[in-house]
């Protein structure tokens, strides 16, 4: 007996094209707002975006058709994706990016790498090893960027 | 022509500079590492290198890219042979033949044959590149604006249909790439588009965050998502067998049995596949392997440890490296050359038909680097590091991907000293992650982004020149040629195969 299909909002084969459909609609609406410096008839600055948007709708229709067909015929696909850890990394990375220019490379990279280790469950038994690896990675890339490639990395208070 | 050859020889002289040669070796070792570790690719290595090219001389950056490319293509055979997990998709056929040899206790011999074949393929592919590049450049000068549009269109269509099982999805990501490319000031008139009221988008989206996001950040997220299924990441490895350096040297009798014809034919197949947009090392290796099996005097050995199979696959995928650089005159055919194209653009070089004419002194060292990487570094690396190859796969994921995350993000920052670029890299990383999880190819997103502005410019110029009449694309001979070629490829690569599959099912 075929298993019950996933709810549409949990089915990534449907969700991704639907999001893209929405994005394309916003894109097409914005394409109609594009002004032109001088009249060139049909072939102005909004011409290509409009053509691309129409082609995108067509391609998405095919993708949606395939996704709906798969929902009707196939058994519920086993979804091995766990979104909790990627989400943690996205949040961590967003925080890292926000803090990077003001807090500086060293003070942001140290906790960032350490927390990445936690997400990746790196040597859960040895705290010391995690700290040592964190310090080593931060130092190695500091040397690579700042010393080898002479890149000005942001520093907190001008010294770290 | 003689001037061209002198300049190419000058490229070898550039490699004589200790600093450039050091970067060549470093690039090769990085490429070998990324190629050997399953999941990491040479494209990712070059993507991570991209921000550093701001600090490097353009010659050094291109030399590094070339050596990473060659090494990555070769190193995939290492894990393919030793643990039956191809480090790169192009080494899949090598694992079919190499791993049985490994099980028979002849792993070192298989690695030796893979290295020899990679060396021969790399050298012949590069010589063919050097030999035919002036001709390709001259031919490309004959193409006029409508023809240029049709050529870019051909490249995009072929790249999209090359993603066999995801035709509609690859069309979606190609178009998405073109959409991102239209953000910012228009290619033909000073009109901002899709800036949504922000000043930061007026300059458009830089190539850097797309490459770093799509290839590096998304990879970190994919690995984080997979880890619960795979638990502690490291590839399971039972007592690694001891390997002696002398075991790597292939026997002359074995080479004779494979036959020089196999090496030569596989090199030509690899080179020609490289020239085609979107084909890549996997197709080169597979076609060459299939041809070797068809013509083999001992076809019964295939699948059970055929050295001829290893030789055919590895010769072809390394020869492909030379071929892949031919379309770089403007139309990158695969992700690696697309990223190399990014290196050119970042350094202020204009890829296209006049690249050889005006920038040959900068391009020649890259060709020389391909040759030196193949001829010297492949055998040298195997000899020096061969016994340690098995340990590459026991590296833990956590430090590896944490390093990749730091290099990617800090790299995105140092390229422009802009937090906005870092944020964009994260945005594209998340987008690529969801697209990859839903089975959308990412390569086409990048190629759509890179080729989109050219496609738009040539399309609008052609139409403007002809009062908006699209018949110009059919009346212009060069354009017609590429459109017919597109139709032929669509028929053979998509329609006919689809029909055959429908009949079979």
ipTM score = 0.91
Residue in chain B lying closest to A101 (CA): B419
In this predicted structure, which of A83-87, B269-273, B447-451, B491-495 has the lowest mean pLDDT?
A: B491-495
Summary count for chain A: helices (H), strands (E):
5, 0
Q: What is the pLDDT of residues A82-99, one digit of tens each?
A: 788 999 999 999 999 999
Ranked by mean pLDDT, the top range of A45-49, A77-81, B57-61 is: A45-49
* pLDDT of amino acid B218: 92
CB-CB neighbors (< 8 A) of A55 in chain B = 171, 175
* pLDDT of amino acid B35: 82
Among B345, B344, B322, which residue's Cα sits nearest to residue B333? B322
Could you tell me the pLDDT band of residue B505, with boundaries at 50, 70 and 90? low
* pLDDT of amino acid A148: 82
Nearest CB to A150 within list B55, B397, B422: B55
* pLDDT of amino acid B278: 63
The whole-number average pLDDT for the span B99-121 is 89
Q: What is the pLDDT of residues B475-499, one digit of tens each?
A: 999 899 999 999 998 888 777 777 7
pTM for the structure as a whole: 0.82
> Could you tell me which residue, B241 or B296, shows the higher pLDDT?
B296
Q: Kindly determine whether residue B172 and residue A60, on different chains, have CB atoms separated by under 8 Å.
A: yes
CB B478 within 8 A of CB B147: yes
Nearest CB to B399 within list A62, A105, A137: A137
The whole-number average pLDDT for the span A139-146 is 90
The whole-number average pLDDT for the span B402-407 is 92
* pLDDT of amino acid B240: 55
CA angle in degrees (0–180, nearest 5) for B113-B114-B115: 90
CB-CB neighbors (< 8 A) of B55 in chain A = 149-151
The whole-number average pLDDT for the span B329-339 is 70
* pLDDT of amino acid B231: 40
* pLDDT of amino acid A95: 97
Q: Kindly determine whether residue B399 and residue A105, on different chains, have CB atoms separated by under 8 Å.
A: no
Question: Can you give the three-state secondary structure of A75-89, one letter per residue?
Answer: CCCCCCCCCHHHHHH
Ranked by mean pLDDT, the top range of A24-28, B294-298, B347-351 is: A24-28
pLDDT at B150 > cutoff 80: yes
pLDDT at A157 > cutoff 80: no
Cα→Cα distances B36→B136, B142, B217, B281, B392, Å: 33, 42, 20, 15, 7
Residue in chain B lying closest to A10 (CA): B438
Nearest CB to B398 within list A45, A48, A117: A117
CA distance A76 to chain B (A): 15
Q: Kindly determine whether residue B406 and residue A48, on different chains, have CB atoms separated by under 8 Å.
A: no
* pLDDT of amino acid B173: 95
Q: Kindly determine whether residue B189 and residue A86, on different chains, have CB atoms separated by under 8 Å.
A: no
* pLDDT of amino acid B355: 72
pLDDT at B7 > cutoff 50: yes
Residue with tokens 């839903």: B438
Could you tell me the pLDDT band of residue B450, with boundaries at 50, 70 and 90? confident
Q: Kindly determine whether residue A48 and residue B459, on different chains, have CB atoms separated by under 8 Å.
A: yes
Nearest CB to B406 within list A12, A43, A137: A137
Nearest CB to B406 within list A59, A85, A113: A113
CA distance A143 to chain B (A): 12
Residue in chain B lying closest to A27 (CA): B194
Q: Rounded mean pLDDT of chain B?
A: 84
CB-CB neighbors (< 8 A) of A37 in chain B = 189-191
CB-CB neighbors (< 8 A) of B438 in chain A = 12-13, 15-16
How far apart are the C-alpha atoms of B271 and B267, rounded to whole Å? Answer: 6
Percent of chain B clearing pLDDT 90 (strictly above): 30
């Amino acid at each position: 007996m075929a298993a019950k299909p996933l709810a549409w909002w949990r089915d990534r084969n449907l969700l991704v094209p639907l999001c893209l459909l929405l994005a394309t609609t916003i894109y097409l609406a914005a394409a109609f707002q594009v002004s032109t410096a001088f009249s060139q008839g049909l072939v102005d600055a909004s011409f290509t975006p409009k053509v691309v948007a129409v082609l995108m709708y067509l391609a998405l229709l095919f993708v949606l058709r395939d996704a709906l067909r798969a929902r009707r015929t196939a058994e519920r696909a086993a979804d091995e994706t766990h979104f909790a850890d990627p989400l943690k990394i996205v949040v961590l990375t967003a925080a890292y990016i926000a803090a990077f220019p003001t807090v500086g490379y060293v003070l942001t990279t140290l906790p960032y790498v350490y927390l990445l280790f936690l997400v990746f469950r790196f040597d859960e038994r040895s705290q010391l090893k995690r700290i040592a690896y964190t310090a080593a990675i931060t130092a190695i890339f500091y040397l690579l960027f700042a010393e080898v490639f002479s890149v000005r990395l942001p520093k907190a208070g001008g010294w770290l | 022509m003689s001037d061209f050859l002198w300049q190419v020889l000058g490229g070898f002289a550039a490699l004589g500079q200790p600093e450039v040669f050091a970067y060549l070796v470093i690039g090769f070792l990085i490429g070998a590492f990324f190629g050997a570790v399953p999941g990491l690719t040479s494209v990712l290595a070059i993507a991570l290198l991209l921000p550093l090219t701001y600090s490097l001389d353009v010659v050094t950056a291109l030399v590094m890219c070339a050596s990473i490319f060659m090494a990555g293509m070769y190193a995939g055979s290492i894990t393919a042979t030793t643990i039956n997990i191809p480090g790169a998709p192009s080494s899949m056929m090598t694992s079919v033949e190499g791993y049985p040899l490994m099980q028979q206790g002849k792993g070192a011999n298989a690695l030796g044959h893979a290295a020899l074949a990679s060396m021969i393929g790399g050298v012949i592919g590069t010589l063919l590149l050097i030999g035919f590049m002036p001709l390709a450049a001259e031919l490309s000068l004959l193409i006029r604006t409508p023809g240029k549009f049709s050529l870019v269109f051909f490249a995009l269509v072929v790249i999209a249909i090359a993603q066999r099982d995801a035709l509609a999805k690859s069309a979606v990501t190609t178009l998405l790439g073109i959409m991102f490319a239209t953000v910012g000031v228009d290619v033909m008139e000073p009109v901002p588009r899709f800036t949504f009221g922000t000043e930061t988008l007026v300059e458009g989206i830089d190539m850097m965050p797309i490459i770093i996001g799509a290839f590096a950040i998304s990879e970190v997220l994919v690995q984080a998502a997979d880890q619960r299924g795979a638990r502690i990441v490291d590839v399971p490895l039972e007592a690694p067998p001891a390997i002696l350096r002398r075991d790597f040297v292939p026997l002359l009798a074995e080479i004779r049995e494979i036959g020089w014809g196999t090496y030569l034919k596989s090199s030509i197949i690899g080179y020609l596949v490289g020239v085609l947009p979107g084909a890549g090392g996997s197709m080169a290796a597979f076609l060459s392997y299939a041809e070797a099996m068809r013509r083999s005097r001992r076809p019964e050995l295939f699948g059970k440890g055929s050295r001829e199979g290893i030789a055919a696959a590895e010769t072809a995928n390394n020869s492909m490296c030379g071929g892949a650089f031919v379309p770089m005159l403007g139309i990158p055919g695969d992700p690696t050359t697309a990223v190399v194209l990014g290196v050119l653009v970042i350094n202020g070089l204009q890829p296209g038909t006049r690249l050889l004419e005006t920038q040959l002194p900068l391009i020649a060292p890259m060709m020389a680097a391909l040759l030196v990487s193949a001829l010297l570094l492949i055998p040298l690396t195997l000899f020096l590091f061969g016994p340690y190859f098995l340990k590459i796969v026991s590296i833990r994921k956590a430090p590896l991907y944490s390093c990749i995350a730091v290099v990617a993000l800090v790299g995105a920052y140092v390229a422009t000293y802009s937090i906005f670029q870092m944020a964009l890299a994260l945005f594209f990383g998340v987008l690529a992650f969801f697209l990859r999880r839903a089975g959308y190819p990412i390569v086409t997103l990048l190629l759509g982004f890179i080729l989109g502005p050219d496609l738009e410019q040539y399309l609008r110029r052609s139409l403007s020149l002809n009062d908006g009449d699209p018949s110009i694309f059919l009346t212009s001979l060069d354009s017609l040629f590429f459109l017919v070629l597109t139709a032929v490829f669509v028929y053979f690569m998509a329609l006919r195969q689809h029909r055959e599959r429908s009949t079979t099912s």
